[in-house]
């Protein structure tokens, strides 16, 4: 038993924010599952580092080139192999937890982030092609992504909503999930077979707000706002997933859409390396962590419910930065735009790298 099993007993699952071919084939991922890791998340930047930054995929890439596959086809076959085999490794977790955990996430192309119809079509195709109940399709929480989320949940497709930074945006996403379940119920679909998480990004908020605070000479609130923001989102979670509207869905077997804390590696070296794990522990949540942060947490992280603590203090901290003239909504909107652009750049860079490698064969 490890701290990850203790966290699961408190209602929080730890997922692994990393994927790479040798992780799957070497037995290392199975070892992480044995230690209590209960899912995997991926994104275009992770795949760029895995495929373009290693030789793990070169043999398969060479074979795909020989068969005449296009660059897009090569990327998809490489990524889909990883996702499918990771899902198979986690299938026992999915079965043991009755569909609560054991998921692996694959992102819709970030180039579609502002196109609702194409996002829906691509998510349907990916989910159908992978044909595994423990796959989640990642869809960004852009204004165009939110209606796609509702439609996909209504189709019975598992969705990992990504690039959430603001409480306002999170609330829209949570209600989109509820509305999607209601559509699924109208079709007499099995509500207990669809799952979703809302990936709420943490450390990037502190990085940006801290810089704004530094400009005005305020150090007291540095390193506080990301956690405060997350705690207020958790309060909204409790409001959405309670009351008669939600209860009607719960009575038909619906699961809550858990909040997933993302971007939880500490970027400021002055902060504890387990800060965004220790302070965000609570029921009905997931924390997806990069490799170094996972090892740090296993070594010296705390196991204690903390999310419900200090809600009034969190509200006060958010109010105080507003009084200081820092517009958190503007910051979080920009962070989402930048996140979409960053993932799109990683995706395009990956395609370029595959193209260059293909020429070698």
Tell me which residues are annotated as active site.
138
Q: What distance in Å separates the CA atoms of residue 140 and residue 192, rounded to the nearest whole number?
A: 23
Please say whether the beta carbons of 126 and 106 come within 8 A: yes
Please say whether the beta carbons of 269 and 296 come within 8 A: no
Helix, strand or coil, per DSSP, at residue 307: coil
64, 232, 268 from 170: Cα distances, Å: 40, 10, 25
Which pair of tokens denotes residue 256?
A: 């809550």
- Please enumerate in sequence order all residues whose Cβ is within 8 A of that of 224, keeping only pairs 6 or more positions apart, or say none: 206, 317
- Beta-carbon neighbour count of residue 279 at 10 Å? 22
> Distance between alpha carbon 286 and the CA centroid of its chain, in Å?
9
CA dihedral 144, 80, 358, 53 (to 10 degrees): 80
Give DSSP secondary structure letters for 5-27: HHHHHHTEEEEE----HHHHHSS
- For the chain, count helices (H), then strands (E): 16, 8
Q: What distance in Å separates the CA atoms of residue 40 and residue 286, rounded to the nearest whole number?
A: 11
Q: What distance in Å separates the CA atoms of residue 240 and residue 61, rounded to the nearest whole number?
A: 46
- Tokens 């540095």, residue? 222
Q: What distance in Å separates the CA atoms of residue 138 and residue 45, rounded to the nearest whole number?
A: 14
User: Given its phi and psi angles, is residue 230 left (phi above 0), alpha (psi -120 to 50 degrees) or beta?
Assistant: alpha
Please say whether the beta carbons of 257 and 174 come within 8 A: yes
Name the phi and psi angles at 235, rounded to 5: -65, -40
Residues of the chain by 3-state class (helix, strand, coil), percent to 5 = 60, 10, 30
């Amino acid at each position: 038993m490890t701290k990850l099993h203790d966290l699961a007993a408190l209602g929080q699952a730890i997922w692994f924010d990393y994927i790479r071919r040798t992780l799957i084939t070497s037995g290392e991922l199975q070892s992480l599952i044995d230690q209590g890791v209960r899912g995997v998340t991926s994104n275009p930047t992770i795949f760029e580092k895995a495929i373009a930054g290693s030789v793990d995929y070169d043999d398969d890439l060479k074979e795909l080139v020989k068969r005449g596959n296009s660059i897009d086809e090569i990327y998809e076959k490489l990524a889909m192999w990883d996702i499918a085999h990771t899902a198979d490794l986690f299938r026992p977790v999915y079965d043991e937890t009755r569909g609560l955990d054991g998921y692996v996430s694959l992102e819709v192309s970030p180039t579609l982030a502002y196109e609702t119809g194409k996002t829906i079509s691509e998510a349907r195709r990916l989910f159908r092609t992978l044909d595994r109940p423990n796959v989640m399709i990642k869809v960004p929480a852009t204004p165009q992504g939110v209606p796609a989320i509702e439609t996909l949940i209504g189709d019975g497709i598992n969705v990992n909503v990504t690039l959430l930074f603001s409480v306002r945006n999170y609330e829209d996403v949570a209600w989109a999930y509820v509305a999607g379940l209601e559509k699924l119920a109208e079709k007499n679909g099995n509500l207990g077979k669809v799952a979703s998480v809302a990936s709420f990004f943490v450390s990037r908020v502190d990085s940006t707000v801290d810089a704004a605070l530094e400009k005005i000479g305020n150090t007291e609130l540095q390193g506080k706002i990301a956690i405060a923001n997350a705690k207020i989102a958790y309060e909204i979670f409790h409001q959405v997933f309670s009351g008669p509207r939600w209860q009607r869905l719960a009575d038909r077997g619906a699961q809550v859409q858990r909040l997933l804390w993302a971007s939880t590696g500490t970027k400021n070296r002055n902060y504890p390396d387990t800060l965004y794990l220790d302070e965000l522990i609570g029921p009905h949540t997931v924390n997806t962590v990069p490799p170094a942060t996972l090892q740090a947490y296993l070594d010296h992280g705390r196991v204690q419910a903390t999310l419900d603590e200090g809600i009034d203090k969190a509200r006060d901290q958010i109010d105080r930065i507003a009084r200081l003239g820092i517009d958190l909504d503007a910051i979080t909107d920009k962070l989402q735009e930048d996140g979409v652009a960053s993932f799109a750049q990683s995706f395009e860079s990956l395609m370029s790298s595959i193209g260059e490698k293909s020429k070698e064969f």
